Structure 1
Amino acid sequence: MNLIGEKISYKPDEQFHLNDVSFNFKKGNLYTILGRTLSGKTTLLKTIAGLLNPDQGSISFEEKDFIKIPVWERNVAMVYQQFINYPHLNVYENITFPLEQRKLSPEQIKKDVDEALKTVGLVGFENRKIQELSGGQQQRVALARSLAKKAKILLLDEPLVNLDYKLREQLREEFKRIFSEGLSQDTILIYSTTDPQEVMELNGEVIVLDEGKVLQKGPAKEIFENPSNLKVAEISNDPPMNVLKGSKNSKNLNFENISLEIPNHFKNLEDRDYNFGIRASEIKLDENGEEFEIELAEISGSETLLHLKRGNSKIIALIEEVMNFKIHEKVKINFNANKFYAFGEDEKLVSSPYGGTNG
């Protein structure tokens, strides 16, 4: 049976933490909650886990009113962004602890723990103390404990956020394998993140949350290619999609005294003002391009992020190599107009390079 939430709202203060949120999660599937910090992701997971009670709305699971079921009776496991383990216990004892509370036989406990250790790649670490483990290994212990529990609902609340960049990359790859190989078809997996790259790599169904409200639902690819509005376009890209206020006439696209040839997917657009969207990766250095001023040059791994300004417009260009620049230096760039998005003055999607519209 599905996990179904209908019109859930939670407002503990003057701000909504959840605002009319609905969902229908099916067994055997992965769902990702994407949103910025304080968007309501953790609140939603805690509501499903029973750690918070909503002010309005309902949650049902296996045709039962889930809100009325006490926390300890819900078959739910949760992995937090902090490394929550029992410091006085070794790895094996950390994983067995919740199983012992359920009065399982020693044989069943050993079988479930061995299986979980194998899934997360910690075979041979059974007797290690938690303090002897790296951050990534500690988070794997927490995940193994949740997997061994064989919960019907597995919640992961930004599990990679406190790890360094390289470890995040490594565990992201491992999580893809674990989620495809190590989960029962009876399990619903709900994974929250601020990172659009995690969403694309995990490749499940996505809910985009902002200020407690659902902005868009759909497959990861659809969210990336056809964001329903400017806010979704910003949230689902890192760095956020650049926005340029401009207009289209019968001959060109125009913004900041720059004219570009109209791309094919804009040919049928009305001649009027738009918010044009372009990803940082679709802006290239070009000595024959348009001049912008550098406000900041930021090296990120093997890439350089250029924060640029021209007139009233500020944009970010992603250069796929490490380069040195000076602040206030002038550079010339070119825009790939075939990858432009058009959003209306109401900020809703009008046209995308992938054929999507919001109408």
Structure 2
Amino acid sequence: MDLIAKNLSYKPTDQFHLNDVSFNFKNGNLYTILGRTLSGKTTLLKTIAGLLTPDSGEIDFDGKDFLRTPVWERNVAMVYQQFINYPHLNVFENVAFPLKQRKMETNVINEKVIDALKSVGLSGYENRKIQELSGGQQQRVSLARSLVKNAKILLLDEPLVNLDYKLREQLREEFKNLFSKGLADETILIYSTTDPRETMELNGEVIVLDEGKVLQVGPAKEIFENPNSLKVAEISNDPPMNIINAEILESEVSFEGISINAPKHFNNINNKSFKIGLRSSDIILNEKGYEFEVELAEISGSETLLHLKKGNTKLIMSIEEVMNFKIHDKVKINFKIEKAYAFNSNGDLASSPFRSKNG
């Protein structure tokens, strides 16, 4: 039972929310929609759920015209960013609510609710009031209420975005375990996020969306290793991939007076101005390296992010330890140039450390 969309477009204002979007979601698989805020992720999920009607396009599910199928007949469940629970009901009653609406037998409801709460790690919380739960527990109640419906399509719209960092990490791991235990065998799972790390950890098929348009589709590993454009390279990395205006000439990469031996996968690129892509983790401190000035230093968990500048070039480097730097400090850095990407003047991938292309 595939969920197939063709040429979906939705433009309620002067900007596209969806711009000629097509996809094929297969039964039993996990898909991640990766995109920045306002990229169209929520619009796409609401269109699948029937909460929005596109201006044009088609959606087919199991041979049915989904756009002509009423919401209550679509067998879709959706988990939102916000914790949408019924405050006057306890945990058990919240999860049981959609089953009671279907007038199922009491023993069937009990069995399904207990199983759903167990799957999200909330066994023993049946009689708790919603107000007594943490944010993460409330989100898991929302997830259990969606799972208990046995929906054929489960939509999760940035379900961790409103949680603190530690809780996000914990729930992300729980989601990954939950999805890998076979709960998706008869379900299409579609998970939207702005977080590239979340995308890679969930390790499903990825749809990169930007300004309502699909930029790239593929396995998480392929998106990470071979972003097909500058835009995808920026969206699929956190911090965004560093982009450097450079010249590749006579086996050297040159920018800001710096000349570095070009990596072997740049062999087919010569006498051209290119943009070089380097991840923040591929820039390292090195006393024999090149001097840059610190513009900003951030501590993120156990990691230090340095915003650096030299001439017109600005970079972000990540250091896997907490270090103290001040604004205007001078630091010397070097580059893992063998891990560099090259993008041509159109912003398309010309060469990758994982797969070379002619520019």
Query: TM-score normalised to the size of structure 1?
Result: 0.99
Q: Contact 1:4–1:23 (CA<8 Å) still a contact in 2? A: yes
4+ residue segments displaced more than 3 Å: 356-359
- Which secondary structure state, in structure 2, belongs to the residue aligned with residue 77 of structure 1? strand
Letter of the 2:94 counterpart: N
Aligned-residue offset at 1:303: 0.4
Q: Contact 2:196–2:236 (CA<8 Å) still a contact in 1? A: yes
Letter of the 1:231 counterpart: K
Q: Contact 1:228–1:358 (CA<8 Å) still a contact in 2? A: no
Are 1:52 and 2:49 counterparts? Answer: no
Aligned twin of 1:247: 247
Structural mapping, 1:165-314, within 5 Å? 165-181=165-181, 183-314=183-314
Aligned-residue offset at 1:160: 0.3
Q: Contact 1:306–1:318 (CA<8 Å) still a contact in 2? A: yes
Letter of the 1:181 counterpart: K
Deviates more, 1:215-224 or 1:103-112: 103-112
Partner Cα distance (1:199, 1:139) in 2: 19
Partner Cα distance (1:6, 1:297) in 2: 45
Structural mapping, 1:73-222, within 5 Å? 73-181=73-181, 183-222=183-222
Aligned twin of 2:26: 26
Aligned-residue offset at 1:271: 2.4
Q: Contact 1:251–1:261 (CA<8 Å) still a contact in 2? A: yes
CA deviation string 1:275-313 (max 9, x = no partner): 000000000111110000000000000000000001001
- Which secondary structure state, in structure 2, belongs to the residue aligned with residue 216 of structure 1? strand
Partner Cα distance (1:148, 1:265) in 2: 50
Partner Cα distance (1:358, 1:227) in 2: 15
Letter of the 1:332 counterpart: K
Gaps of 5+ in 2: none
Partner Cα distance (2:356, 2:240) in 1: 19
Partner Cα distance (2:3, 2:223) in 1: 22
Q: Contact 2:286–2:333 (CA<8 Å) still a contact in 1? A: yes
- Which secondary structure state, in structure 2, belongs to the residue aligned with residue 97 of structure 1? helix
Deviates more, 1:14-23 or 1:264-273: 264-273
Q: 1:321 to 1:265 in 2, by over 3 A?
A: same
- Which secondary structure state, in structure 2, belongs to the residue aligned with residue 237 of structure 1? coil
Are 1:357 and 2:357 counterparts? Answer: yes
Gaps of 5+ in 1: none
Letter of the 1:306 counterpart: L
Are 1:339 and 2:326 counterparts? Answer: no
Aligned-residue offset at 1:264: 1.0
Q: 1:289 to 1:163 in 2, by over 3 A?
A: same
Q: Contact 1:349–1:358 (CA<8 Å) still a contact in 2? A: no
- Which secondary structure state, in structure 2, belongs to the residue aligned with residue 54 of structure 1? coil
Q: Contact 2:228–2:349 (CA<8 Å) still a contact in 1? A: yes
Partner Cα distance (1:267, 1:31) in 2: 36
Q: Contact 2:251–2:267 (CA<8 Å) still a contact in 1? A: no
Task: Report sequence identity in percent.
Answer: 72
Deviates more, 1:348-357 or 1:143-152: 348-357
Aligned-residue offset at 1:356: 4.5
Partner Cα distance (1:110, 1:97) in 2: 11
Aligned-residue offset at 1:184: 4.3
Letter of the 2:73 counterpart: E
Q: Contact 2:29–2:184 (CA<8 Å) still a contact in 1? A: no
Partner Cα distance (1:138, 1:271) in 2: 58
- Which secondary structure state, in structure 2, belongs to the residue aligned with residue 109 of structure 1? helix
Query: TM-score normalised to the size of structure 2?
Result: 0.99
Partner Cα distance (1:170, 1:60) in 2: 36
Partner Cα distance (2:342, 2:252) in 1: 14
Partner Cα distance (1:318, 1:86) in 2: 42
Q: Contact 2:269–2:358 (CA<8 Å) still a contact in 1? A: no
Deviates more, 1:105-114 or 1:309-318: 105-114
Partner Cα distance (2:140, 2:186) in 1: 22
Aligned-residue offset at 1:105: 1.2
Partner Cα distance (2:181, 2:281) in 1: 33
Matched residue count: 359
